[in-house]
Amino acid sequence: MKDHVLVSIRLLVVFTLLLGIAYPAGVWAVGRVAFPAAASGSFVSRDGKVVGSALIGQGAASPGLFRTRPSAAGGGYDATASGGSNLGPTSKALADRVVAEAAKARTENPGATAPVPADAVTASGSGLDPHVSPGFALWQVPRVAKESGLPAADLEAMVSRRTERRFLGLFGEPRINVLLLNLDVLARRGASRPPSP
């Protein structure tokens, strides 16, 4: 028994150094050299200031911009408390939220005609979903056009340019990164209007 204990302790120390320290440090070094932007968080800047991570969704309520999905992470898009609502399929609370979000989405987007997109009324698993479906993005175009003063056709073109396809044509779903799309919108608004003093 003494033998089992001694070998266990010695091996735990050896493996802690190899697997717990050297291995993550090695991966970190590869990241620094080969993929510095991706490995450090995929942050995006606007006018030299970091405005978010391309991978981490953020609440978007400003007029003239595209909205993200409802979020159950903390008070909404709280990256220190990632997670979903965990409400079940027969949850009254969930059904009520879906009805409320659908009503809100319809009021906000009076120009939209199609049924309310599913991702507009549901919270993601992470609460930090950076994407919306093409359906939800296009659904918002009439509102964004009206609020931003940009032509709807231009916005539709931006949405289509930002649409990411399925991997190998099969895996995943088509999607639009809302932060990147909103940055496109802001850039266009900046170009078409003189900057405010």
Subset of residues 33 to 62 that bind other proteins, contact rule: CB under 8 A: 34-35, 38-43, 46, 49-62
Q: How far is the CB of 197 from other proteins (least distance, A)?
A: 19
- Are 134 and 177 in contact by the 8 Å Cβ rule? The answer is no
CB-facing half-sphere around the CA of 73: CA atoms within 13 A: 20
Total binding residues for other proteins by CB under 8 A? 104
Choice between 60 and 152, CB closer to other proteins = 60
Taking contact as CB under 8 A, which single stretch among the options 1-9, 142-150, 151-159, 188-196 is the one that binds other proteins? 1-9
Q: Are 118 and 156 in contact (CB under 8 A)?
A: no
Q: Work out the burial of residue 75: count CB atoms within 10 Å of its CB; fewer than 13 is exposed, 13-18 middle, 19 or more buried.
A: exposed
Which residue in the set 157, 173, 187, 192 belongs to the binding site for other proteins (CB under 8 A)? 173
Q: Residue 31 is encoded by which pair of tokens?
A: 């990241």
**By CB under 8 A, residue 85 contacts other proteins:** yes
Cβ distance to other proteins smaller for residue 134 or 145: 134
